[in-house]
Chain A
Amino acid sequence: MTDLEEMQKELDKIKLQEEQLFEEMKHFVNQRSYVDAKIKVLSKVLPTLKSLKVETQDLVNTIHNIAESAEGISNKVRTLDCARNRVDECQQRVADLIDVGLCSEGVQTAILNEDYEKGAGHVHRFLSMDQSLLKQSATDIENVSSVLKAVGTLQDAAGQLRTIVQHKFDEAVRLEDLASVERFFKIFPLLDMHDEGIRKFCNYLCDKLRDTADKNLQTALNAPVTDKRHHVKFADTLTLLFEGLARIVDIHQPLVETYYGPGRLMSVVSFLQKECDTQVKLIIMEFQKHRQLQKKINQISEVAKMSSSSSFSKLDKLDPKELDILIQEITIMHFRMELYIKFIRRKVLADIEISVLISEERNNQILQLDKLINASDLSRRKHDLLSLYLQLEQYFMEESVSKAVGIDSTETAQQTSSMVDDTFFIIRKCIRRAISSGSLDGICAVINIACAVLENDFCGILRGRLKQGYPSGYLDLTQAYNVLQTSIQHGRLQPSDTEQIRTAFLIALNNADASTEYVETLCDSALGDVKKAIPNMNTNEHGKLESCLSGLSSVIINLKDVMEYGMQQLRVSVIKPRISPWVDSFLNINHQLNDDELSEYEAGESFVQTLIMNLDSLLSSFKDSLTSANYDGLIKILIGEVTARFEKVIFKSAFNRLGGLVLDKEVRSLSGYLTSATTWSVRDKFTRLSQIATILNLEKVTEITDYWGNHDGALTWRLTPTEVRTIMGLRIDFKQEDIQRLKL
């Protein structure tokens, strides 16, 4: 069948092909006449083509000829160009010669008329000519003498003008004639005296600056103590100086650029910098004298020395509060210096950018600029100031924190004491102040200092308080009631010594917890603030800052460590001694019940009800006095202790079916209670215990296979096969052979 079908198919295909071929043939035949006509036309065209070829050859020849003549013409044009250039040059020289004549005539009259701009203009024209070429052209022409004479006159006039302008400039400076000063300042470059002009002008500016700065400093020194800005008057004076300098640069930069050309700012700045250095030195010297800095620094280092050797150093200690304002002033001063240096650098860099085009030369100039800035007395004093700041800030931070710890107090119903808020307020203040100094190195150093204070002093104190321990003499309810009664009888509630130590212990524990949060916030906010204050940090600076901030995370680790230490204290002194007898009472209960005993047991107060009640009263005594993290930590420890102890007593007991049933119920309600007591999941901590209960609650030995093995219903076991067998052995109704026969 299939063969036939295929053959039929093949036949159809062939038929189709035949048809197609036939069609095509028909088509060819049809076209024949058309093709014939075409051939006829083409044979007619043939002779025309021959003549076309000849004509094309002619055309090619013509084009060749044209190309040759074009070549010739362009040669001639080149020669002409050359000639024209020479004519131009010649004209230039003639013009120069004529100008020399004109200039030499004009310059004298100009000088006589005191029109120095015009005179200098003539000289400038003369100086802009190629001097050697000028001499050469002079010898080329006939009346040598007149040109040479003109040149001579001009050279004399240049010299004359230079002297006059210098003199006039000096005079204008002496007369404080600002208009004339600027007038002659503009003439210097015309006489090729750029450097001289800038030097003289800058000297003039420096003189002005000195006068103003002197006056400002005097005003500051004479300012009465009652003055509102008395506490920052030196910072103000410094600010005025820098503002004056910046104004000078801003005003005169366009003037210099227009008349002297770009690229001169560096020399202007280097002249100004000398005066700036002198003035800064004066201000800082007065500042140090009036604010008695040396004395304060000496006092601080004295304290440092004494506290490390002996303990009675309280005699002449500097109050950190007194330093507060001074430190503030220093940071302002430092910030101003930083700002001014940045301003100068930016200005000069921009000037270099437009005036120097070769990158190598540019880098050279930038290097020179950095050298100028770094070698300046201003930079040196800035560093000195920062160093001073850091010494004072460190003292301020250490002393303020130790003060905060010293006056530590607790409001009733507060979980933490005042030292936490106070300490972090101080540290945040110091870091913010460091940020306001504008120096990354300063910020990093203060962060480092803060880490040291927190880790050594602050954590040390918390740990010290926890070391006192939590007095274990546990007050049960009746005792507490009696204490309360007697207190009321005495008219006031006076907590006993033990009570005080307990409160102190819990508060120290809470303080550590609260501090971890504070440190985290501190870290985040510091990073944000620094980014705002110093927006264009490069990756290296960023790394530096982050590395220093990571010092704060090790403070957190330290605090967690302190908390852990406190928790262990609680475990040993409170939880363990309480819990053991409560759980051990399980041993006194009959776990092999019959139905009657079961209902009797359930009707009365069961083991787990008592346990929960005890745990509840224990926990509730801590609930309000611990932070939630610490409370959770306590519960964690409590659960650990309860489950471990519970396991132990179970292994010491023997159960029947109903006993196992009861146990399973009790474990469930215990786990339920503790889950509700805390915010995080405790189920995990109960896994072993509930698995033990599950085993003891089995109907028969083989039922274990429902839970054990590699199937969907199986549990993830926390018990080893040996343990499972041991637990099953606790059921008196399970046969040992059955248990041994199990394949686990």
Chain B
Amino acid sequence: MEDFKFLFKVVLVGNAGVGKTCLVRRFTQGLFPPGQGATIGVDFMIKTVEVDNEKVKLQIWDTAGQERFRSITQSYYRSAHALILVYDISCQPTFDCLPDWLREIEEYASSKVLRILVGNKIDREDREIPTFVGEDFAARHNMYFLETSAKEAENVEKLFMKIAEDLMQQARNKDLSRYECSTTNITARTSSVNDSSCCSKLT
């Protein structure tokens, strides 16, 4: 058994070029690699963080934004614990596509998945989407909202830490409720949170 107690899958989605890979790189490696080529298929990164003195392993899936990779990326939605939907605040079309992305999420992801809306590239001068518009959209669709800059490392750490904390809270609540309603509806999603403890509870 490795020395972490919780394992969460976080999947980033959004149009091509909004900075998904840069957000992940900034968070996992502290880098901002300029001139990044388009992601092919899905990339996979791991970072262990600490929440309330517990080690939490975040498995971050960085998906390609281009349409032709959609059938690869869609297959990762189902097992995701959190989905980060990213747009570029300086590019209106990336914001306009959000409803399409939400439709995909509705179709493929678990209904209980934690959803976060992120407006990236706030370091840029040529903003096209005001903060309140993003906030409003997020509020209407029951999502968290955060504006970030992968380049200036703004809010990136906060974004992922918030996700880790929330998911841990969720997992703990689920653990409690599971004791009460025991056998009938245990979803597979929670069981991957911590395999060993689940097994022992089931027997």
Contact = CB atoms under 8 A, between A and B. Distances in A.
**Is B one of A's binding partners?**
yes
A558 B71 CA distance: 25
A380 B70 CA distance: 14
A557 B188 contact: yes
A540 B44 contact: yes
Given A445-B71, A449-B75, A568-B183, A557 B191 contact: yes
B46 A383 contact: no
Contacts of B69: 383, 387
Contacts of B133: none
Contact of A564 (B45, B79, B195, B202): B202
B37 A387 contact: no
Interface in A346-389: 370-371, 374, 380, 383-384, 386-387
B72 A557 contact: no
Contacts of B202: 557, 560-561, 564
A155 interface: no
Given A555-B188, A561-B202, A565-B183, A445 B44 contact: no
B97 interface: no
Given A371-B37, A386-B72, A445-B75, A544 B195 contact: no
Interface string A454-468: 010000000000000
A448 B75 contact: yes
Interface string A644-686: 0000000000000000000000000000000000000000000
A406 B191 CA distance: 29
A371 B38 CA distance: 10
Contacts of B59: 547
B195 to A, nearest CB: 7
Contact of A557 (B9, B46, B75, B198): B198
Contact of A543 (B44, B79, B186, B198): B44
B78 interface: yes
B53 interface: no
Contact of B195 (A391, A446, A557): A557
A390 B72 CA distance: 7
B40 A455 contact: no
A448 B195 contact: no
A540 B60 CA distance: 12
Given A371-B37, A383-B40, A565-B183, A558 B191 contact: yes
A550 interface: yes
A565 B182 CA distance: 10
A141 B100 CA distance: 82
A384 B38 CA distance: 15
Contact of B71 (A370, A380, A391): A391
Interface in B146-203: 183-184, 186, 188, 191-192, 195, 198-199, 202
B40 A554 contact: no
A560 B198 CA distance: 11
B64 to A, nearest CB: 9
Contacts of A370: 37
A442 interface: yes
A551 B79 contact: yes
B42 A387 contact: no
Contact of B42 (A449, A544, A553): A544
Contacts of A390: 71-72, 75
B66 to A, nearest CB: 8
A387 B72 contact: yes
Max count, chain A CB within 10 A of own CB: residue among B45, B69, B72: B72
Nearest to B192: A554
Contacts of B9: 547
Interface in B19-69: 37-38, 40-42, 44-46, 59, 68-69
A442 B72 contact: yes
A446 B75 CA distance: 8
A540 B62 CA distance: 13
A370 B40 CA distance: 12
Contacts of A551: 79, 192
Max count, chain A CB within 10 A of own CB: residue among B9, B41, B71: B71
B6 interface: no
A384 B68 contact: yes
Interface string A538-572: 00100110010011011101101100110010000
Q: How large is the interface on B (under 10, 10 to 19, 20 to 34, 35 or more residues)?
A: 20 to 34
Q: How large is the interface on A (under 10, 10 to 19, 20 to 34, 35 or more residues)?
A: 35 or more
Interface in A165-188: none
Max count, chain B CB within 10 A of own CB: residue among A374, A390, A553: A390
Contacts of B79: 448, 451, 551, 554
A564 B40 contact: no
A117 interface: no
A441 interface: yes
B150 to A, nearest CB: 20
A632 to B, nearest CB: 12
B188 A387 contact: no
Contacts of A439: 41
A455 B202 CA distance: 17
Contact of A452 (B78, B195, B198): B78
Contacts of A455: 188
Interface in A75-108: none
B164 to A, nearest CB: 17
A390 B45 CA distance: 23
B137 interface: no
A445 B72 contact: yes
Given A384-B68, A554-B188, A557-B195, A374 B44 contact: no
A550 B192 contact: yes
B76 interface: yes
A241 interface: no
A444 interface: yes
A192 B147 CA distance: 57
Given A441-B41, A448-B76, A449-B75, A553 B195 contact: yes
Contacts of B186: 561
Interface string A565-583: 1001000000000000000
A394 B107 CA distance: 15
B198 to A, nearest CB: 6
Nearest to A563: B202
Contacts of B38: 374
A82 B75 CA distance: 75
A556 B183 CA distance: 16
Contacts of B72: 386-387, 390, 441-442, 444-445
Interface in A426-444: 439-442, 444
A442 B73 CA distance: 10
Contacts of A386: 71-72
B198 A547 contact: no
Contact of B44 (A442, A449, A547): A547
22 contacts: A384-B68, A386-B72, A390-B71, A391-B71, A441-B41, A444-B75, A445-B75, A448-B78, A448-B79, A451-B78, A452-B75, A455-B188, A547-B59, A550-B192, A551-B79, A551-B192, A554-B191, A557-B195, A558-B188, A558-B191, A561-B186, A565-B183
Interface of A: 370-371, 374, 380, 383-384, 386-387, 390-391, 394, 439-442, 444-446, 448-449, 451-452, 455, 540, 543-544, 547, 550-551, 553-555, 557-558, 560-561, 564-565, 568
Complex A-B, nearest 4 residue pairs according to Cβ-Cβ distance, in ascending order: A441-B41, A448-B75, A390-B71, A544-B44
Given A387-B68, A390-B75, 4 more contacts: A383-B69, A386-B71, A449-B75, A565-B184
